[in-house]
Amino acid sequence: MTDAISDEAPSRWADLVTPRHLAATVTVALGVVLFAFNAFVVATALPAAVSDFGGREWLAWATSLYIIASMLSGPSAAAGMHRLGARRLFMLAGVVFLGGTLMAAFAPGMGWLLAGRTLQGFGAGFIESGCYVLIPQLFPPRLIPRVFGVEAVAWAVAAFGAPALAGWLAEVASWRWALLTAVPMALVFLALVPRVVSNAKGADQAPGLPLVPLLGCAAGMGLVLVSDGAGWMAAPLLALGLALFVLVIRADGRAEVRLFPRGAFGLGALGLGLWLALLMPLSQSAGSVFLSYGLQMLWGWTPILAGLEATVLAISWSGMQTLAASIGGDRRRLVIWGAGLLVLGQGAMLAAFWATSAPLMLAGQLVTGAAFGLSWGALSQMVMEEAGAERDVASGLLPVVMSAGYGIGAALYGLAANLAGFGLAEGEALRLVLLVVFGLSFVLALASLAPAWGLRASRRGNSR
């Protein structure tokens, strides 16, 4: 009775640091941030590793193999927790991630580094998706928006601190030391898991592992990632990869053992939410791939100054998500407003390169970050709730869909840029290439309004 009353009481930020929730808050935040921190560190340190080993053509594979491995393991997290118990799965995943980190950091050549990154991806995919599955199990519904707010703040700290720390270590010591910064975080996570996470297995019969859809999605993502830089084969490979995704989703809906929850990518609230989880990162990834390059090569910004632009989006994201978690409100309305802000933010980015305006660019980053901060926690909780009995599957799928959005976006914008003459573009020609890229990003932001509008109509229907 006491637990029921406390779960229905108004939420406060202080509730997350009470003895009842503190260890769980730190564990979940650390599990999610481990993924982001590692990504920022590796992006900063890998160029130095390539300088040591040679093989510049393998640079993109260090990221691609990580994403593909995480896409294989992430959707399997719910089934793995059901079969092995959450504690055992997290401990195994943490050890795999730690082993991959050490393999990459002490790699004698590029092949070993790529193998280490693949192991990191397997471990991180289980950990991040598993943490999303744990959130509704460890926290009452009233605290879930605040948990996402804490994650956003931690992610912003990672976005701000990881590149600076990795760059400093790579400069004064070695890129190997930069990669090793993930080790203390992984060890703390492994120390907390036995205290926080139960090892109880699912009471029902363990669900089967949808191996064929998993391999299909991994193959599709592999084709998408390989298409970037594949020359005249880029467009066919990208189209083939996207077609494979569509086939997997359609076949999965009729399968007895499914990878996706029922209604995924359909026209119901759950399907529309997953469309937004894909389309919003797909639109924003233009900035992740091309913004820093454009600021340096077109506007003459220093690498440090250009790198700081990413922190503008991160700080805006975390600040708005913290505010949204504090004020609460109708989750669908927050998601709809987030999609609208994304259109404004990407429109400002397009206008910034049209008018060569740094203030417009910073405004675009601020508004884009606010779009994600306002909507992402609400979107995640809405998808979890709409999935019903398949909540664990939907929860574990969210970070995978987000990663797929970023991966597909990177390939799509790379193809668009190359078709526009990116390879030899300088000066005004480079500005035109960036206008093509951010114009496409703006169009995809507009496309995200369609599922958002569908959620609005669905909310009206429910209110009747």
Judge whether 3 lies within some domain: no
3-state SS track over the chain: CHHHHHHHCCCCHHHHHCCCCHHHHHHHHHHHHHHHHHHHHHHHHHHHHHHHHCCHHHHHHHHHHHHHHHHHHHHHHHHHHHHHCHHHHHHHHHHHHHHHHHHHHCCCCHHHHHHHHHHHHHHHHHHHHHHHHHHHHHCCHHHHHHHHHHHHHHHHHHHHHHHHHHHHHHHHCCHHHHHCCHHHHHHHHHHHHHHHCCCCCCCCCCCCCCHHHHHHHHHHHHHHHHHCCCHHHHHHHHHHHHHHHHHHHHHHHCCCCCCCCCCCCCCCHHHHHHHHHHHHHHHHHHHHHHHHHHHHHCCCCCHHHHHHHHHHHHHHHHHHHHHHHHHCCCHHHHHHHHHHHHHHHHHHHHHHHHHCCHHHHHHHHHHHHHHHHHHHHHHHHHHHHHCHHHHHHHHHHHHHHHHHHHHHHHHHHHHHHHHCCHHHCCHHHHHHHHHHHHHHHHHHHHHCHHHHHHHHHHHHHHHC
Q: Is residue 300 part of a domain?
A: yes
The reply to whether 171 and 320 lie within a common domain is: no
Judge whether 7 lies within some domain.
Answer: no
Q: Please identify, among 183, 200, 217, the residue that sits at the C-terminal boundary of a domain.
A: 200
Residue 208 domain-assigned (yes or no): no
Regarding whether 268 and 173 lie in a shared domain, the answer is no
pLDDT tens for each residue of 340-387: 999 999 999 999 999 989 899 999 999 999 999 899 888 888 888 888
pTM, rounded to two decimals: 0.78
Please check whether residues 293 and 412 belong to one and the same domain: yes
At 141 the pLDDT is 81
Residue where one domain finishes, among candidates 162, 181, 200: 200
Same domain assignment for residues 330 and 460: yes
* Residue 151's CATH number: 1.20.1250.20
124 within domain boundaries: yes
As for how many domains the chain has, the answer is 2
Q: Is residue 169 part of a domain?
A: yes
Q: Please report, rounded to a whole number, the percentage of residues in the chain having pLDDT higher than 70.
A: 88
Q: Is residue 192 domain-shared with residue 276, that is, in the same domain?
A: no
Indicate if 280 and 417 belong to the same structural domain.
yes
Residues 334 and 191 in one domain: no
**450 shares a domain with 380:** yes
Q: What is the pLDDT of residue 304?
A: 64
180 and 283, same domain (yes or no): no
The answer to whether position 250 is within a domain reads no
Which domain-ending residue is among 185, 200, 215? Answer: 200
Q: Are residues 175 and 274 in the same domain?
A: no
Which structural domain range is residue 61 located in? Answer: 15-200
Same domain for 267 and 196, yes or no, is: no
**Residues 264, 405 within the same domain:** yes
Residues with pLDDT less than 50, the chain = 1-7, 460-464
* Any domain includes 213: no
